[in-house]
Amino acid sequence: DAGVIQSPRHEVTEMGQEVTLRCKPISGHDYLFWYRQTMMRGLELLIYFNNNVPIDDSGMPEDRFSAKMPNASFSTLKIQPSEPRDSAVYFCASIPGWLDREALSGYTFGSGTRLTVV
């Protein structure tokens, strides 16, 4: 398995522009999570989906942020309009539906998208 795939790896955009981040979870995983990481705030959970349905978006900072999961193999996080304070690394992660008591694996994170808004 190729793991969780995120694109692009790096994104530089001007303030006010729309930004779309993409994620492909591991096949068969029921849950998908979007995190944001900055030096000041650490890793923050933004939103998560279960079976393509958004369950908890309480971590989404503002209405400028939106996330969708049109099918089990694809999710997007969109920022419109972008602002310099949105600059961060955005991670996507996925897990199967139930806890693996044998603890062979946990969440699988993607490599992240480093977003810079100038």
Partner 1 sequence: LAKTTQPISMDSYEGQEVNITCSHNNIATNDYITWYQQFPSQGPRFIIQGYKTKVTNEVASLFIPADRKSSTLSLPRVSLSDTAVYYCLLRGEYGGATNKLIFGTGTLLAVQP
Q: Tell me which residues touch partner 1 (CB under 8 A).
A: 4, 31, 33, 35, 42-45, 48, 50, 55-56, 89, 91, 93, 95, 97-101, 103, 105-112, 114
Closest distance to partner 1 from the beta carbon of 71 (Å): 20
Q: Which is nearer to partner 1, 82 or 113 (CB)?
A: 113
Query: Taking the CA of residue 69 as centre, how many other CA atoms within 13 Å lie in the half-sphere pointing to its CB?
Result: 22
Closest distance to partner 1 from the beta carbon of 8 (Å): 14
Closest distance to partner 1 from the beta carbon of 87 (Å): 15
- Is 22 in contact with 76 (CB distance < 8 Å)? yes
Distance in angstroms (rounded) separating the CA atoms of residues 67 and 36 = 13
Backbone angles phi, psi at 95, to 5 degrees: -145, 160
Q: Which is nearer to partner 1, 21 or 93 (CB)?
A: 93
Distance in angstroms (rounded) separating the CA atoms of residues 28 and 8 = 23
